[in-house]
Chain A
C-alpha cells in the first residue's frame, strides 16, 4: 500500500484511481441491480406460479378423493404440462400413473413413471421407480424390473432398500428363481421390512425339509 504524505496527496490519488476504474464500477453496479431485480421478479413469478399450482393441486386431491377420476386426470395432465417448474408437476404425475392403473391402462402409467424415473430426484424418483417395477411385474417384464433396481445407488437408497429387496424377491418368484427370491426376502426383513405378508412369502419358499422347533 502507498503511503501519502498529506491529505491533498490522498485526494489526488483517489481522483486518479477513479479515472481509470470508475466506468467499469458503474457498469458493474448497473448489471448487479438488473440481476437482482430479475431474480426478485423471477422469484415472485415462481411464488405466484407455485401458489397457483398448489391451488390446482388441491382441486386434484379432492376430485380424486370424491372419485371424480376423469377431472382429476385432466387437472393432473395440466399441472404436468404447465407447471413443470413447480414440485406439483411431479406430484401430479404420480396421480396420473395411479389413475391410469385404475383404468387398466398400464402402458400409459408406465410411460408417466418412466419419465419421472429419468427426471425426478430424491424420494419422488424412488417412489416412481418402485411403482414402475410393480407395473413391470404385473406385465411380465421382469428383466427390466431387475435392471431398474440394479441402477439404484445403494448408498443413496438406504430407506428404500427394504422395498427394493422385496421387489427383487417378487421378480425372482415370478422368474421361478426361488433360492434367490428367498435370499432377497430375507434381506428385506433385515432392512426392516418385516410385515406379516413378508413372513408368509418367506415361508412359502422353504428349502430345508426339516423343521425341528427347538424347546
Chain B
C-alpha cells in the first residue's frame, strides 16, 4: 500500500518548468546550414610490391587461416531400420490382432428419442395412455404432444447419438439396454419420468483381421522395434564406451554397418549425417578429437548415433601463395581510400586557410552541395554527413567548422558547417507547448523514479548483508 503510494508520489508529483521545455526545443528543433563536397574514391591504382604483400601477410596471418575439418565414421541405430528388419509370423500377427482389438473396433452408434413426463403425479397415468396410443400413433407424434422437454419434443423427442457418461446413470443403463425400435418402461431421474426409444442402432464391430492385416503388421513391427531399439541402444552405449578406440565391436554386437562421411567443418556439414548440428558438435568435441568414441547422440527420439573421428585437419595458416591475390587487392583498396582521405584533408586545410570550398570543388570537378536549414532528422543527405553536421562544433563568428567525414562507400566528404540556429517553439502555440511539457515531465519523472528505485534496492542490499 505505502509502496504503491510512494511510487505514485514520485511519478505524479513530477513537474517541468518552461525553461526545461524551451531548452529541449532549442536543441531538438535546431537547424544547421552547411556546404559539402564528396571526394570520390581515388582511381589511381597503387603499385603493391611483393614485399608489402608479404609484410601484410605476416602481420595478419591469423586472418588467413583455413577452417578445421574432420571426417568421421559412425554407427547408427534407427527405429525405422529395425522395424524393416522384423519379419513376423502370421501366428504372431494374429496374436497381436487379438491383443489390440480395441484399436480395430468401430464404436456402436445408438440414436435415442425420449418423452419426458415432468409432472410426477400424472406420470403413471400419462405413461399408460402413451403405451396404449403407441399401438396406433408414432413415438414422434406422442413426444411432441406429451414431452415436457420442449427442445427435443419439437423434433419428435430426438436426443441424437448417446455418448456414454453424458446422461443420468439410470437413464443411460436403460437406454443402452434397448434394441432398435424398442420403447422402454418409464425411467425415473431428477427431471421426471422418461420413456425412451432407440431409433437407430449400428452395433460396434471389430474389423476382421484380413481387412486390417497391413495395419496390424505395421503396428506389430513398431512395437517390436521399439523394444529392440531400447535394448540395443543400451548395448551400444555400453560397448562403444568400453571399447573407445574402435566402433567395430559395437557395430558387430548390434548388427549394423559402419558408415563414413566426407570432410566437414564445425559450422557447415554435408548432406549426410554431418548436416546435424549435434553430430558436428560432438565430432569437434575435445574428447572425440583426442581419438575416442563419442557418447550416444540422440537424433530425435528414433535415431541414435555413435561416432569417431576418421581424420582431422586442424585449422592452419594458409600459404602466402594462396592468399597473395586477396591481400594485393585489399592493399590496393586501402591505398585508394588513403589517397581519398589525404585529398580530403588537403582540401580541408585549404578551406581553413581561407580558400573557397566551392571554387576548390569546381577546380577538382567535384560537385558542390549547399544544404541550408537542415533539420535534425532529415533523410535527404547521407547519414554520415547529416550526423557530422549535427555533431560538429558550432562555428565561431563567421569562422565555419570544417570537417572531413568518412562515408561507408570509402569516399570522404569535406563538410563546412556554416551556422547553427537554435530551435524555438512559440509559447503562444499552447497546444504543442502543453504536449511537449507533458512529455518532458514524464521523462523527468521516469528518471527520478529509476534513481529512487535503485537507491531503495541498494539500501535493501545493505540491510540484507548486515543481517547475514
Interface residue ranges of A181-212 to B (CB < 8 Å):
193, 195, 197, 200-201, 203-204, 206-212
Task: Flag whether A159 is at the interface (Cβ < 8 A).
Answer: yes
Task: Flag whether B13 is at the interface (Cβ < 8 A).
Answer: yes
Interface residue ranges of A69-98 to B (CB < 8 Å):
87, 91, 94-95, 97-98
Q: Chain B: which residue is nearest A90 at the CB level?
A: B9
Q: Per DSSP, are chain A's interface residues mostly helix, strand or loop, or mixed?
A: helix
Contacting pair B15 A97 (CB below 8 A): yes
Contacting pair A126 B12 (CB below 8 A): no
Query: In the bound complex, what is the Cα–Cα distance between A163 and B409 (angstroms)?
Result: 40
> B68-94: contact bitstring with A at CB < 8 Å (1 yes, 0 no)?
000000000000000000000000000
Contacting pair B27 A200 (CB below 8 A): yes
The residues of B that contact A122 with a CB separation of less than 8 Å are: 455, 459
Q: A123-B456, A126-B451, A160-B455 are in contact. Are A209 and B392 (CB under 8 A)?
A: yes
Contacting pair A134 B451 (CB below 8 A): no
Query: In the bound complex, what is the Cα–Cα distance between A159 and B393 (angstroms)?
Result: 32
Task: Flag whether A135 is at the interface (Cβ < 8 A).
Answer: yes
Contacting pair A206 B393 (CB below 8 A): yes
Task: Flag whether A158 is at the interface (Cβ < 8 A).
Answer: yes
The residues of A that contact B12 with a CB separation of less than 8 Å are: 61, 64-65, 95, 98
Task: Flag whether B406 is at the interface (Cβ < 8 A).
Answer: yes
Set A91, A97, A131, A170: member contacting B5, Cβ < 8 A: A91
Set A97, A193, A195, A200: member contacting B13, Cβ < 8 A: A97
Task: Flag whether A151 is at the interface (Cβ < 8 A).
Answer: no
Query: In the bound complex, what is the Cα–Cα distance between A203 and B19 (angstroms)?
Result: 20
Query: In the bound complex, what is the Cα–Cα distance between A162 and B24 (angstroms)?
Result: 18
Contacting pair A163 B448 (CB below 8 A): yes
**How many interface residues does B have (CB within 8 Å)?**
46
Contacting pair A91 B403 (CB below 8 A): no
The residues of A that contact B390 with a CB separation of less than 8 Å are: 203
> B450-461: contact bitstring with A at CB < 8 Å (1 yes, 0 no)?
011011101100
The residues of B that contact A138 with a CB separation of less than 8 Å are: 17-20
Q: Per DSSP, are chain B's interface residues mostly helix, strand or loop, or mixed?
A: helix
Contacting pair A213 B406 (CB below 8 A): yes
The residues of A that contact B451 with a CB separation of less than 8 Å are: 126, 159-160, 162-163
Contacting pair A170 B2 (CB below 8 A): no
Task: Flag whether A214 is at the interface (Cβ < 8 A).
Answer: yes
Query: In the bound complex, what is the Cα–Cα distance between A1 and B455 (angstroms)?
Result: 54
> A92-129: contact bitstring with B at CB < 8 Å (1 yes, 0 no)?
00110110011000100000000000000011001100
- A13 CB to closest chain B CB (Å) equals 44
- A152 CB to closest chain B CB (Å) equals 12
Query: In the bound complex, what is the Cα–Cα distance between A106 and B391 (angstroms)?
Result: 35
The residues of B that contact A91 with a CB separation of less than 8 Å are: 5-6, 9, 13
Contacting pair B1 A54 (CB below 8 A): yes
Query: In the bound complex, what is the Cα–Cα distance between A158 and B390 (angstroms)?
Result: 32
Set B13, B19, B393: member contacting A209, Cβ < 8 A: B393
Contacting pair B17 A135 (CB below 8 A): yes
Interface residue ranges of A41-86 to B (CB < 8 Å):
54, 57-58, 61, 64-65
Contacting pair B388 A131 (CB below 8 A): no
Contacting pair A127 B452 (CB below 8 A): yes
Query: In the bound complex, what is the Cα–Cα distance between A212 and B407 (angstroms)?
Result: 10
Task: Flag whether B10 is at the interface (Cβ < 8 A).
Answer: yes
The residues of B that contact A64 with a CB separation of less than 8 Å are: 12
- B68 CB to closest chain A CB (Å) equals 30
Contacting pair A54 B392 (CB below 8 A): no
- B389 CB to closest chain A CB (Å) equals 10
Task: Flag whether A12 is at the interface (Cβ < 8 A).
Answer: no
Q: A57-B5, A127-B452 are in contact. Are A102 and B391 (CB under 8 A)?
A: no
The residues of A that contact B458 with a CB separation of less than 8 Å are: 158-159
Interface residue ranges of A126-162 to B (CB < 8 Å):
126-127, 130-131, 134-135, 137-138, 158-160, 162
